[in-house]
Amino acid sequence: MSSSLPGAHASASPAASGPASASVLDLAPVLPVVVLDDAAVAVPLARALVAGGLPAIEVTLRTPAALDGLRAIAAEVPEAVVGAGTVVTPEQVGACVAAGARFLVSPGWTDSLLAAMVASGVPYLPGVSTASEVVALLERGVREMKFFPAQAAGGTAYLKSLAGPLPQARFCPTGGVNPDNAPEYLALSNVGCVGGSWMVPADAVAAGDWDRVEELAREAARLSAGGTCR
């Protein structure tokens, strides 16, 4: 991708090669984390999320159907900004971009994985859970990251502690985030959005209850600090 994501600001990184990365953190308060067991549900699921106000969708590489589902969303739901999550190898980076991923998310990072994400030319959120990992990424010019697993790694208290010495880092906390604690995360100065899957419950997806998914997405899209609308 060579242009900014819709609704996002461009933020060039000195470590990047190719087009400047654009922020995934500013598209909506919540980034849906989608696990696809059947690629056939990808398109109606994506349409329901977009209709509810959540245009950015992270399809995780946890199932064999993931790449086919991502490819279908990219081809048939142009108003969605679909990305790939649980990216853990350099080889997966190329496969995801070829399938149409417009951003990449990893639970953690290595030098080789980061190099592949940088070279991909699309925005990326490498995963961190410690201050040392954050500092290492900042040293490489990366300022936007996934904080994972958010609740287990210290939650809002940990992120608040990072904001003082490392104010240039921004995060998408994922892992244990839900409608009750999401506003607490969104209230933090160093949080751009949160990741979660509560708006895509397995029973609703299995039943094809896209109206329910859309309504849950709409409620999530209204979340902000204090639980008020943005």
Known catalytic residues? 58, 146
Q: What is the DSSP string of the chain?
A: --SPPTT--B---TT--SSPPB-STTS-SEEEEE--S-GGGHHHHHHHHHHTT--EEEEETTSTTHHHHHHHHHHH-TTSEEEEES--SHHHHHHHHHHT-S-EE-SS--HHHHHHHHHH-S-EE-EE-SHHHHHHHHHTT--EEEETTTTTTTHHHHHHHHHTT-TT-EEEEBSS--TTTHHHHHTSTTB--EEE-TTS-HHHHHHT-HHHHHHHHHHHHT--GGG---
Element holding 194 (H helix, E strand): strand 194-196
